Structure 1
Amino acid sequence: MSEVALPSSVRPDTWNADTAAMMEFAGLTWIEGVGDAAHRVFAPSGVMAAFIAACARTGLDPTAKQIYAAQMGGKWTVLVGIDGMRVVAQRTGQYDGQDPIEWLAAEDGQWTTVPPKAPYAARVAIYRKGVSRPLVQTVTLAEFGGRGGNWSQRPSHMLGIRAESHAFRRAFPMELAGLYTPEDFESDDVDTSDAPWEEREDWGALIASATTTGDLARVGARIAESGQGNDDIRAAYRARAAVLATEANTVDADVVDDQTPAEGEDASPTPPASPSAGTPDDYEAAASAEFDAAVERGEI
């Protein structure tokens, strides 16, 4: 992926022509209207920050359509192809292969690697180095299947992709958290009418797994963009930030240690740009500010 094309800021006025083209190709800017009424529209800055962070985290190439952003059910999410998930897993150096996808034609049938015309279930086992047993994911057509399009023409193929994508996210949660395939949104079990898909994320686990302030900031940007910064999540974020600052023995650690709340105040230290409560515009502004700060620090 070209370093010139990947934005260093979520502000469109700072983009060059290559960057603008890449962001359009990734689905984050487009033209609405025709003639004199035509005007360029941009995705929210928080969405762009989350997307660019996902590109940096995974190393996937938007120009190759390995990763892109789209509104699914009226909610923004980051999408990857199953090939993109395989690339991410391979690049970790921890991927140790997988078994062929297997299908059941009936609930009481036998597992087979030959795709049936009407599958009941599909499963796949993925191996990760250092893990003593394979991570096996099984999905059923009744629970995870969709209708129309490829689901009508190639149900076994589609169900197999769903099993594989779920298995990859289980095997590589930090690398693939928040990334979904289009097939994940073409089934009946996904309801995006009331809340973004990211609501299914285990934010507490992602916060706890952050090993650097840069990792934590990227998780914070995603929380801010999702609008799910409740009190428990914010407390976990602040506590993890304090631990990382103390471990790094930086000036930030001294600031955290020197903060002595008054009686009745929250004793948890509050780092800059944590995912706080507010309006959607507040969340976007916080995500944008944290992203730009991370760029200046050389973390993205």
Structure 2
Amino acid sequence: MLTESHVRATVAAALEEDAPWGDLTGEALVPAEARASAVLVAREDGVLAGAAVAEVAFHEVDPATDVQLLLHDGDLLKEGAVVATVEGAARAVLRAERVALNFVQRMSGIATQTRAYVDAVAGTGVRIVDTRKTTPGLRAFERHAVVCGGGRNHRFSLSDAVMAKDNHLAVLGDDPARITAALRDARERLPHTVHLEVEVDRLDQIDAVLAAGVDTIMLDNFSLADLRAGVAAIAGRALVEASGGITLDGIREVAETGVDLISVGALTHSARALDLGLDVEVAG
């Protein structure tokens, strides 16, 4: 979850990174008494995310900077839309500009890409979920952006749920009975609130996993035909998640195989930043 304390700490670190010894350009060229009014503008269509994070960036540099948010996270953007107005000491506004834009552009890009995937499966009942393929240190920001775009969050970290992937199963070996026993033992030792998911990459692994009473089975890199066969084999006894190599062009066909969830790493690891800009209107 994106908390206020986490936002402030992360934004403060970003500002320190961007101006560790001050803004030499602003201090050299801009009079200390100068004021600036600016607008944060969308330069293309998309979905907004990170508006409040941008606001924090301006306030971290100078709490007296006045930021008025006219649009909010999750709102649809049209080219030319004014997201916020900013007014304050010119040096402070200019110092915060790049960090504020970096957050809102990155997060809005993720929200926009997520919305495209969600729209592509509309009417199927399938949930689009993110993965742990996020920028280190920015996971909470990027996952918030996924939700702004209409997606859902998968487990946040390794500490949130049990997810046995192919490498975990490889350690256990190919014996189906051993895999079932290991998963059952894990289930017995886990608190009742902990979700248990297992990734399989072959149809012949499903029975052993099902026998352990898991909550979700991920069908990884399955063909459409094998996805349909996997859904039929599981037959409602666990949630079915599809993952691996899923593109926007092909996601509708994946959704129509009957899976419950589709996890897409591209929501976060391949999203293009949305073009927003800060335009100074008045300086004096």
Q: TM-score, normalised by structure 2?
A: 0.26
Instruction: Give 1 or 2 for the bigger CA radius of gyration.
Output: 2
Q: Could you say which structure has the greater relative contact order, defined with CA pairs below 8 angstroms and 6 or more residues apart? A: 2
Structure whose residues are more often helix by fraction? 1
Which has the larger share of strand? Answer: 2
